[in-house]
Each structure stands twice: as structure tokens, then as C-alpha cells.
A and B are shown apart, each in its own frame.
Chain A
């Protein structure tokens, strides 16, 4: 497969403060005690996509990410780590590394994607239609702390957050409309020309653009060159390509190699079309082709390009780690409902307790929990639906519910932690009570203090 993969690993996202730091960029945040980036890389490896460029924002972040990758994947993947300045946006990042791109098709994946959807399936869909862009859609995750159990009755009827407004053709293969970002709160504006060409459009609010795209390289480069104000792939490049699909401007001006390519291709193009149609298992040409040929005959009179989608089945897990809420959700899911993602084998109690971990007497670790290497817990502790990292020292009578505790955390006796994230090297002194808090790396929570919904970090 002639696919080049670009993994956009980001830098230290401000949205994730205080979880991230210079030492722990977003890509290295632990999900079930593995860096989040490892989930993407492993999926790519499974799909046999081993030629990767990992793009990291900022030198420091790149140093740490690069170090980790070279340790973990030295023999398995061919990875280049590219550094781009901070805040250039996803499109900017690609623009910066454009000269590295050589393959016909480029797969762009966000490094914060935790998913079991095989990227190979997306690549195949992309090839099948000879599309300029194929995007992966998955069911919009139902976000929010499912505090089932202790406070399950309190759950309000919460509408799922809307991530995207997406228009699909009836065969659900083509992307006809996409609204992202601020646009989704506004009225939906559908282009009539596209609706006319396709006849029927399904508008969905329950799908999410998973930020995994396959681009035709020439088109991607041209768009990035021409539209030099584009910052984001998701909010600018993709909507642009979708909106102009029946009035294609790409490959129109300049780009000599594209011309050459096409000249070569002309003979094989008809063949390709036939093949792609057979692959598509459709006896009739797609609306694009019908539209392109107008009614005058077989020679295409209009310039079109195709924007396709690959819709992951609902049973697949797919979520992006781009908020603190998502961080907690994903950690909970990976040791819970989506435990197959973690790659660990769970015990009979549906939890993982590392052999080297020590538990005091009458301490219980419930299902959907993880207690990792060298951590110690005192007596009469209780852990529910939580992840606890390496070498943590936890005193007695500690309650940990719905929380993530990273490595080397010290928790004093009688603490209660609920719905919180405790970063590495933090210290909770005795009887601290935390609810829905984030504790930054190395922070010390004083004895007996109570916090609710706070973000605690070193100044």
C-alpha cells in the first residue's frame, strides 16, 4: 500500500492543563498506563501502515515524544518525528512537513485518537472511490461522567453533545456536507447544487469526525498552498473540499506533476473507474460521475472530485482525547467497556492488578480497575472504576472512585478521591477529599482539605 501516514501528535494542549506539562505532552498522557499515542501507533501497525511521520508541536514535546517512540517502537515501525512550531494548527503542521510527503495518498491521523477502527479500512474506502479525501466518522460518544452506581439516579437527561453536522448520500459513502466548530450551533446551510445532484441527503448530528483522513497528496498539497490561511484540516480544508466537490478547483491550476499523472492515467482511468465500481459493488455510477458527464454524453464536462466517508460501525470504540472530560472517559472505558483496547488480560474480577502491587488487608479493588506495577495500598481501601499507575503509595482507608491516579503518587490515610485526575508525583496528605478535581504534577494537597471541581496545580 502506497500510503504515507502522518500522525498529528500535537504539543501541550492548553485545554488539558494541568494534566499536560513540558515533560508530559498530550501524546504521552497515560491511558490505562500507556501513552495515548501508542493506541494509534498500534492500530496503524496492525493495518500494516508502518511508514509514519509523527508531527509534534514544540521542541520539548518533540524531544519527549521522540524519545519514547524510539524506545518503544525501534524495530517495529519506521517513524520520523517532525517538529513544527506551536499553534500552527493541523493544516499548518501539514504545510510545514509537506516536502516530506511523497506517496500518492496520505493518511492523516490525530495522535489523540483512541479507537479500534482499523485505519486500513479507511484507506481501502479511499482507494475504492478514488476520492480526494476520505474521512472517518464514528458515532458521537456519549460524553459525561456516567456516575452510575453511587449516584446513578441523579443522571439528568443529557442530550449528547453535538460534534458535527454531517450530510451523507443515501448509500452513506459520500460526504456531502459537514459543519464543524462554531458552525454547528448555527443554522444548517445546505448547498442546493449538491442536493440536486444527489437527490437525497441524510443529515446526521449523531456522527463525529474522528479526525482520521485519507487525502490524495497532490490535492492536499495544492489546497494547503493555495489556501494559505487555512489553519485547521477539520474546520477549513475538509469543508472546503466538500463544498467544492461538484465544482472542483483542485488540480485545475498549476501542479505540473498532477497534469502528467493524469495524462498517464487517461488510458487507465476508464479501467480504474470500472474497477472501482466493481469494488463499490454498484452497477450504477455514483452521482458524481452522473453529474460530471452532464447529459451530453460520456466525456466529463464538469470537474468534480469525490469526498468519501468511512463510517465505523457502532460497536467500534472511537474517541479523541481532547479534553479533561475525555481523558477521564477514555481511561474509564479502556479498563471498562472497551477493555480489548488496552491489550491487557483482565482477571476473573474484570480488573488488572499487577503482580508486584501490594494490597493491604480488607482492601477491595472492584471491577474495571487497574492497579499497576509496584503500587502499594494500605488497609480497608476501596477502588472502583479507577486507574492507578506505577509505584503509588496509598495509605489506609482511602477511597478512589472514577478517578485516574498516575505514577508515583502518594496518598495519605483517609483520603477520598472521586471523579478526579491525580498527576504524577502529586501528594495528597491525610484526609484530603477531592471531587471532580485535577491535581497537577508534583502538587501537594494539604491534609484535611476539601476540594470540589477545582484544578489544583503548582504555580
Chain B
């Protein structure tokens, strides 16, 4: 008995030792590696943006401290100087029992990079809490860390515990109140292991691996949970990131990677919190939502009237109104419920403020209406303004009688002139919108060197591009020329002055068939800093066969930033980038307008409709086949592969066309085609989409491209078309031969040809037999292939046999001496005899 006890006691001490040996560490990512908060984040890092008048990072740090974390590594990348400066100024760096260490990096573009960077530093030596600096929470970490450690003891592969929380999605927009996209998770209800995680996918079906149910009889699928982005990680997580250097995103790559690739057997678990608060500010909508939650005290003790780091306590009054000290407020001003007013703010007569946050030192005039807005420090709002659901950064001046429609974001120090209406969802900044967006994982960087001059230059280049297109359109309209004969118009130019006039003498000259094109154009852009219209005057002089034609074209090109910010307004209105436009209302602080909801509802209906039409879900059972093997998935695959092949065909065609135009040699094309064949389509994420094409598909696609090319060459009669086809076939014979070495490939070519004649290139349909003959004569098609094709068609339906019939004569004639009849074969073979004959061949 005694030794056993001892052993148990020893274990306990070991446990406590385990806990005490490593202080609880945390990695705080002070960079979200997204651009959702642009343009504000061009000037200030997201973690320093005030949330109910306190920088976000203070909420995160205060919570970490209260939750018993002892060591925090703050990873800074974008605006790292600002973050470090702020932390140095604040008291965070001088706390007892709570150490905050900053780690700076300049070239990290993702959370993956950040973690790899930290791994190299070798500072993490135990389990740690991984969060980003925009998290607001008041949950206790004790339970989840205990769970994590317990699991680790039993199973060394349990490397991460994710905190999740119940969250109801809008049935219409499928997003949570935090504005995040819907999330599908599958969790083992017993062990809480996460077995499936899907953030964004447009398919109507969730595919779950059958094997999941082999181990546990029951799985819970959730659409009603929210990922809090608070992760308890074991040190292995860092090394995993280092091992898999392509992991960038914590969820999209890391979590998915672990779930999909079970070779290493690493497991992720979930911990659901019920009563405590945890939310991450990922977009403007969540900014608004979390602000409201703070005001309504869901985040207690991190609320405005409780002193924690970085805030100056405000007084809580009735109706959830918080007021700091030194507020000058007119008697007639009305401050509504759930509003926070910062220190030293002045509010004029008859102004009404509700459901808003006003920062420190703001000046608000008379008769101003503010609802649902977040106004930061030292903002001046003059009389008679109407501001709804806006975010207004430090130092903004809004002149009298302006109207900000809902969802407007005004970045630092923007000035809106008098009587100006800023339309919904506008984003205004002193900075120009960067023209080149980073593709997938954007940076929250501010490139200060991208000054105005550069941006104007890039703008001018853009303009020139537009002009280029205009010129080409004009040329093609006037001369009715085929696309390939366009002169390559090259335009060079310099931008002399920024504002005013630019006259350029760029002469795209093309001499082709005695044609001289000369283009002078005048390029005016009238610009104030925020208002851009471009007037382009073209004088197009074209000498064609010595007769002179002159065109004068004026084009007014309005640039996207044509929103007027009023007299004296300062700032650029950012154009809402394509594709992103649809998202604006989703992620804005403004409530979703009714018409958008209606649209979304409609979309939802269509979705379902689509689902039905696709037939995956519904018609499988409705139109079931007698043998029920392989209904759903195979159909799906079939669909996919068909899409693939169409896409592939287009690619091949484009490649081929380019080869024709640029005179690329055959071996080079083959190389390129091969790479297409095996390559992964750029931009599409799934590796499954690699074209898994056989050489038969290739041959078919190339032949298709060739015939299309032949059709492009001007022709008036069918005979000419035939000649064209012959010349094209002649020219590219080697290429086609390369891919049609086997009989099966050749048959594929014939079938493809048939299909073309029926569908896409009907012009060839009368020439079917003739071209078949050409192909045969050029030794591209062997006689066996033709015979086999005809044989295959023998049992086909009548409609399918049209082309067989047409070529019957050719087949029967056997191509003359040495034709398909073969030595000793009968001179004339009817279609009936074909198969027999073929057998002879085989023998």
C-alpha cells in the first residue's frame, strides 16, 4: 500500500512540477496578415485601433494577464515600430509576473511565416496560447489548458485545442454576427476531437470520409459554432509549421493539413465555452459587434467603466451610457443609450447621439445626428451633419451639413467638404489605393515610399493601357480587320505634370500592307486630389493607300474615384475592388440593408434550385438507376472531368494559336502542351484539378485548334476551306503526329472531328470525308484507325452514323492502290464486311 501511495504522490508532484517548470506562454500575433481593415491599416496597425477607446491589443494583453499567462511574445510585422513604441510607452513591458517580449520581423507575410520565425528564436518551451492581437475575451484558460495537458499525457499527438463557441448564423446571409463566413465542423461528441473543418466552399454537399465513422459510431456536424481563434498549442505546432514550409494560414493550411493528412496522426481537439466571451475582430462588422458587446458588458471585466490597462475609466450611467470626465455637453444635446463619450469631448446644441462610441477630444457641432458610429479621437464634426454607421478615424474633419451614408469608413485626417454626401460603404483615405493587390495572403503593410508621384505614374500607365485598347477598337471598327493582324501598338510616355495637361507624342506606327497609322493624342486629366476625370483627345491619322483619313475621337474616361468630397475635401475615395464589392455590405459596420437580404434570400433559393438541378442531392433517388452502384459521386466526377476537359481544350487552343502567331517550333509546343497536360491550373487550389489528360485527349484538342485555325483564314467556298485545312494540317503535321501515335488516339481525333462537325464547327461538316482523306494521305491516320472507327459506329444509332455514311465511299474505295484493303483484301469492302476484315488484320 505504502509504495503505491508514494508513487501516486510522486506523480502528483511530477504533475505540478510539469506545470511549474514552464511558465504559461503565449504567442500574440500583432498582425492579422489580411487587408480587411484597409485603408485604416495603411497608417496604423490593426492591433492599435481603438475599440471603445482602448487599443485592441490592450484587451488581449489584459485578458492574457488575467488568465494567468506569464510570458507573452508579441509578434510584430506590419508597422512593427508603432506596435513596439506603443508597448514601450504603455506599462505592459514593466509588469511584475507578466513579461511581454516583442519579436519583430519584416518579411513575414503570413501566420505561418510568423510561427516559423518564432520557432527559430527558440523561446517557446512548453504549451502555449496562440492568439492574434485583435481578440477580446474573458474566458478562463484554466479548464482548457488542463484538458489539453490531460489529453497530451494520454496521447502525444493531441497537439492543439481550439476554443469554439456557439454562434447562430443568419439563415439568409450565412454569416455570423461577427461577419465571418459560415463554418462547418465535425466533432466527435465523445472525445471532442475535430475531424472536419471547412471555412468556405461553395458546394452544396459536405463530403465526410467514410472512415470517420469506423472509429466512432457518432459524429456531430456543426454549422452553429464559431471559431474563437484561441488555440492552446503544444510546441510541436511550431515545428510542424517549420516542417511544412507551405503552411501559411492557421486554419486553411495548418488545421486542414493536419485533418486531411493523417500520416503523422496529429489530432486537434475543441473546447467549447458557454458563458464566457471570446471573439476576434476580423472585419468592420465584427468591430461594430464587439464594440456593442463591450458596451453591453458581455466582456466584463473588460468594460469602459473598469480600469484596466490603457483606458481611463468612464462613468456608467443609465441606459448603458458611459461618460468620461471633462465632457462639455450642451443641455439640449441628447445622448441616447449604449453610447460611450470620451474624455474632453464637446457636443453642441440639439445634437443626438445613440449607439455610438465617441473618442477623446472630439468636437461635435450643433444639430448633428450620430447613430451606430465609431468616432475616434480628435474628430471634428461641424453643424448639421448626419452620420450613420460610420467609422471615423483620428483627426477627421467633417464640415457642416455633410451626410455620411451607412458603412462609410473615413481614415485618418480625411476632410470632407461642406454639404457633401458620402455614399454607402465608401472608404476614404489620404492614401491612394494600391493598384496591385497581393493575391491571396495579403499584407497589412504600409508602403510609405508609395508617395503620390508614384501612384500618379502608375495611374498614367493605366490610362495608357486604356488608350491602347481604345486605339485597337477603333482600328478594328474602321478597317474591319481580323484580330491577328493588329499592329502591335506600343505606347510609351512620360507624365510631365501631375495636375493639368499632358500632351504626348507617342506614335504607334505600323507599316503593314502600305498602311500607315499615326496616332496623336492629347491627354488631359483634370484632377483635384480626389476627383479624376480624364479627357482624351485622339487624333488618329491613317494613311491607307495614300488616301488620308483623319479621325478625331474624344473619350471621357471617368476614373473610379469620381466621388466628390466637397469643396476643400481631402482624401482619396477608394474604389471598391471588383468581386469585393459584393462583400462590402457583409463586412461593414452598417446593418445589412433589406434589399441585400432579399437578394441573398433569392440567391439561397437559387442555390437550392441549383442543387436540385445538379441532381446530386435530389434526383439520385428520383431517377435512380436499376443498379444503384455509384450514383452520386460518379456523376460528380463526371461533371468535374467534363468541365476540366473543356477548360483544357481552351488552354490547348490558346497555346496553339500563340504558336501559330509567334512561330514557335513544334518541339517547344509539345513541351508546353505536355506541361499543360500535367499541370495544375493556377489559381485553383485543389490539386485534384490537374488535367489528367491522355494523349488521345491531347490529340483531339490539338486537332480542334487546328481546324479552328483553318476556319479563321479567310475563305469563300468550301473548296478554299479545304485547302486551308490542308495547309494547316501540313504545317502542324508533326505536332498532331506526336500525339496520335496510337490507333486509339487516332480514333479519338476522328471522333473529335465528328463532334466538331456536329456542334462547334459546322462548316466542316460537308468536308468531313475530304479532310479525313487528307489526314489519311498525310499518314496521320492509319487505315486501321479509320476502319476501327467505322466499325465502332456500326451499331450506333442512325443519327450517329451520318459521317460514317459520308466517308463510306472513301473507306470503300480503300484509298486506291495500297488502300485499306491491304494486300490480298477484296478491292471493295462494304461496311458490313469491315469488322471481318479487321479481324483479318489483327491476325
Binding site for B on A (CB under 8 A): 159, 162, 165, 167, 181-193, 195-206, 226-227, 229-231, 235-237, 239-240, 243-244, 246-247, 290-291, 294-296
Are A193 and B607 closer than 8 Å at their CB atoms? yes
A190 and B621 within 8 A (CB): no
Query: Which chain B residues in 184-221 approach chain A with CB under 8 Å?
Result: 184, 186, 189, 203-210, 212-214, 217-221
Q: Confirm or deny: B147 has a beta carbon within 8 angstroms of a beta carbon on chain A.
A: no
Identify the closest chain A residue to B223 (Cβ): A195
Within 8 A of A (CB), among B72-106: none
Min Cβ gap B481→A in Å is 50
In the bound complex, residues from chain A placing their C-beta under 8 Å from that of B213 are 162, 165, 188, 203, 205
Taking CB atoms, residues of chain B closer than 8 Å to A187 are 207-210, 633
Contact B221 A159 (CB under 8 A): no
Given A189-B632, A229-B624, verify A196-B182 contact (CB < 8 Å): yes
Whether A203 pairs with B220 at a CB distance below 8 angstroms is yes
From B174, B184, B203, B618, contact of A240 by CB (8 A): B618
Q: How far is the CA of A290 from the CA of B172 in the complex (A)?
A: 12
Closest to B612 in A: A247
- On whether the beta carbons of B218 and A203 are closer than 8 Å, the reply is yes
A and B contact pairs by CB, cutoff 8 A, 17 listed:
A159-B214, A186-B210, A187-B207, A187-B633, A188-B207, A190-B206, A191-B611, A192-B204, A193-B204, A198-B223, A199-B168, A200-B223, A201-B220, A203-B220, A206-B218, A226-B622, A247-B618
Give the CA-CA distance A30 to B571 in the complex, in Å.
Answer: 89
Q: Is the CB of B623 within 8 A of A229?
A: yes
A244 to B168 alpha-carbon distance, docked (Å): 23
Tell me the complex Cα distance, A190–B210, Å.
Answer: 12
User: A375 to nearest B CB, angstroms?
Assistant: 42
Assuming the A-B contacts A182-B629, A199-B222, are A191 and B204 also in contact, with contact meaning beta carbons closer than 8 angstroms in the complex?
yes
A230 with B221: CB separation less than 8 A = no
Q: Give Cα distance in the complex from A236 to B626, angstroms.
A: 11
Contacts of A190 in B (CB 8 A): 205-206, 208, 221
Per the bound structure, the CA–CA distance linking A196 and B618 in Å amounts to 17
Contact check, B169 vs A201: say whether CB atoms are below 8 A apart: no
Chain B residues near A181: list those with CB within 8 A.
628
B224 within 8 Å of A by Cβ?
Answer: yes
Check if B19 is an interface residue, CB within 8 A of chain A: no
Q: 5 closest Cβ contacts across the A-B interface? A: A199-B224, A206-B217, A240-B621, A188-B208, A205-B213
Asked whether A230 lies within 8 Å of B209 as measured between CB atoms, the reply is no
- Pick the contact of A204: B184, B205, B208, B217 (CB < 8 A): B217
Residues of A within 8 A of B616 (CB): 189
CB-defined contacts of B212 to chain A, threshold 8 Å: 188
Q: Interface residues of A: mostly helix, strand, loop or mixed?
A: mixed
Number of A-B contacts (CB under 8 A): 138
Chain A contacts for B718, CB-based, 8 A = none
Q: Which residues of B contact A189 (CB under 8 A)?
A: 205-208, 616, 632-633
How would residues 614 to 641 of chain B score, 1 for a CB under 8 Å from any chain A CB and 0 otherwise? Answer: 0011101111101011111100000000
Chain A residue numbers with a CB within 8 Å of B626 are 231
B499 contacts the other chain (CB 8 A): no
What chain B residues lie within 8 Å of A182 (beta carbons)? Answer: 628-630
What residues of chain B lie closer than 8 Å to A243, measured between beta carbons? 617-618, 621
* Chain B residues closer than 8 Å to A296, beta-carbon distance: 601
Instruction: Give every chain B residue within 8 A of A183 (Cβ-Cβ).
Output: 628, 631-632
- Residues of chain B within 8 A (CB-CB) of A290 are 171
A415 to chain B, nearest CB (A): 41
| Bound-complex Cα distance A240 to B219 (A) | 23
Min C-beta distance of B193 to chain A, whole Å: 14
A48 CB, nearest partner CB in chain B, Å: 34
Contact yes or no, A230 B608, CB < 8 A: no
Q: Are B223 and A196 interface neighbours, CB within 8 A?
A: yes
Distance in Å from the Cβ of B233 to the closest Cβ of chain A? 26
- Please give the distance in Å from A206's CB to the nearest CB on chain B: 4
Residues of A within 8 A of B171 (CB): 196-197, 290-291, 294-295
Whether the Cβ atoms of A295 and B172 lie closer than 8 Å is yes
Contact present for A192 and B184 (CB under 8 Å): yes
B residues at A contact (CB < 8 Å):
168-169, 171-172, 174, 182, 184, 186, 189, 203-210, 212-214, 217-224, 597, 601, 607-608, 611-612, 616-618, 620-624, 626, 628-633
Q: Which residue of A lies closest to B168 (CB)?
A: A199
A183 to chain B, nearest CB (A): 8
**Chain A: minimal CB distance from B101 (Å):** 41
Q: Cβ of A230: which chain B residues have Cβ within 8 Å of it?
A: 621-622, 624
Cα A198 to Cα B168 in complex, Å, equals: 10
Indicate if the CB atoms of A167 and B221 lie closer than 8 Å. Answer: yes
Report A-chain residues with C-beta under 8 Å of the C-beta of B206. 189-192, 195
Instruction: A56 to B169: give the CA distance in the assembly, Å.
Output: 50
CA distance A230 to B169 in the complex (A): 36
**B-side contacts of A186, CB under 8 Å:** 210, 632-633
Q: How far is the CA of A296 from the CA of B172 in the complex (A)?
A: 11
B218→A204 contact, CB < 8 A: yes
Interchain CB contact under 8 A, A202 and B624: no
Nearest CB in chain A to that of B636: its residue = A189
Cα distance A189–B204 in the bound complex, in angstroms? 9
In the docked arrangement, what's the CA distance between A371 and B780, Å?
Answer: 82
Instruction: With both chains docked as a complex, state the minimum distance between the C-beta of B627 and any C-beta of chain A, in angstroms.
Output: 9
Q: Which of A193, A202, A239 contacts B219 (CB 8 A)?
A: A202
Q: Is the CB of A200 within 8 A of B222?
A: yes
A196 to B607, CA, bound (A): 13
Q: In whole angstroms, how far apart are the Cα atoms of A197 and B381 in the complex?
A: 44
Q: Given A200-B223, A247-B611, 12 other A-B contacts at CB below 8 A? A: A187-B210, A188-B208, A189-B207, A201-B222, A203-B213, A203-B219, A226-B622, A229-B622, A229-B624, A240-B622, A291-B171, A295-B171
Cα-based distance from A274 to B622 in the complex (angstroms): 33
Q: Which of A185, A198, A240 contacts B210 (CB 8 A)?
A: A185
Contacts of A205 in B (CB 8 A): 213, 217-218
With the chains together, A230 CA to B168 CA distance in Å? 38
B622 touching A227 by the CB < 8 A rule? yes
Kindly state the separation between the CA atoms of A237 and B618 in the bound complex, as whole angstroms: 11
Residue with the highest number of chain B CB atoms closer than 10 Å, among A181, A182, A205, A206: A205
Please give the distance in Å from B814's CB to the nearest CB on chain A: 48
A202 touches B221 (CB 8 A): yes
Given A189-B632, A200-B223, answer yes or no on A236-B621 (Cβ-Cβ < 8 Å). yes
Report A-chain residues with C-beta under 8 Å of the C-beta of B214: 159
How far, in whole Å, are A205 and B220 apart by their CA atoms in the complex? Answer: 12
A227 interface neighbour in B208, B217, B218, B621, Cβ under 8 Å: B621
A409–B527 alpha-carbon span in the complex (Å) = 107
A295 vs B171: C-alpha distance in the bound complex, in angstroms?
8
A190 to B218, CA, bound (A): 14
B812 to chain A, nearest CB (A): 44
For B168, list chain A residues within 8 Å (CB).
199
